[in-house]
Amino acid sequence: MANSKYEYVKKFETDDRLSPSSWIVVRIDGCHFHRFSAEHAFAKPNDENALNLMNSCAVSMLEQFPDIVFAYGVSDEYRYGLYFMSLFYMEGNYSVLPKTGKGTQAKDKNELLFQQFNVNYDKLPQMFRKGSCIYRKKVEEVVKLEDTGNPVTRTRSKVVVEHMDIIGPKFWSEHPYILKEE
């Protein structure tokens, strides 16, 4: 663009560098999800098949892109966590609009759930209450058998889907390798 009539565009470019040890979180939210749910006759308030499909997509993302170290899905959205040193290039700044119900107390939401759908929140499966966590779990796998028949195992990373509380310290203390930079 040097010495062209479009050189003025450079004035609008910004240098958006991340500081070291930063995380990039990409949020993907379902656009017009209510209409999509109605067209595909999703069960209300939660459709297990739809959530399992979203979880499968998130598993594929972690399998295809090693820079994604953690994914969290709840409702109609997923968040993917990437290390700062990722090879992904992100351009632009994007704003997120607040969701309806933000700031509403949990007991009020639980009461609405019961009034509208006759569903007791405390009796729902973990997937509907806690969301879905997708990450690489360290597991021992048998790689071969010795001549004596004894198994030879190695620690491997396997992408798993689990439904648990990630807000408290328990999950993170049990899986410290997720947040460690390699």
Q: Which domains are seen in the chain, by residue range?
A: 20-84+103-178 (3.30.70.3000)
C-alpha 168/C-alpha 172 separation (Å) is: 8
C-alpha 158/C-alpha 139 separation (Å) is: 7
Q: What is the pLDDT of residue 94?
A: 30
User: Which of 74, 58, 81, 169 has its CA nearest to residue 130?
Assistant: 74
Q: pTM higher than 0.85, yes or no?
A: no
Q: Identify the three-state secondary structure at position 135.
A: strand
pLDDT class for 99, splitting at 50, 70, 90?
very low
Which CA distances in Å does 45 have to 32, 73, 81, 102, 132? 16, 16, 27, 17, 16
- Average pLDDT (93-106) is 47
Q: What is the pLDDT of residue 103?
A: 54
User: Which of 101, 85, 70 has its CA nearest to residue 17?
Assistant: 85
What are the phi and psi torsion angles at 134 (to 5°)? -120, 125
pLDDT above 70 as % of the chain: 82
Q: What is the pLDDT of residue 125?
A: 81
The pair of structure tokens assigned to 95 is: 């704003």
Contacts of 119 (CB under 8 A, 6+ apart): 45, 113
User: Which of 63, 86, 74, 72 has its CA nearest to residue 136?
Assistant: 63
Residue with tokens 């090693």: 66
Q: Among 56-65, 104-113, 162-171, which stretch is predicted with the lowest mean pLDDT?
A: 104-113
Residue with tokens 């297990």: 48
Q: What is the pLDDT of residue 107?
A: 84
Residue with tokens 């209300």: 44
What are the phi and psi torsion angles at 24 (to 5°)? -105, 125
- Each residue's pLDDT tens digit, 79-89: 888 765 444 44
Across the chain, mean pLDDT equals 80
C-alpha 65/C-alpha 82 separation (Å) is: 10
C-alpha 70/C-alpha 153 separation (Å) is: 25
pLDDT class for 155, splitting at 50, 70, 90?
very high
Higher pLDDT, 16 or 155: 155
- Average pLDDT (122-146) is 90
- Each residue's pLDDT tens digit, 42-75: 888 788 888 898 899 999 999 998 888 899 998 8
Residue 1 above 90 pLDDT? no
Q: What is the pLDDT of residue 7?
A: 82
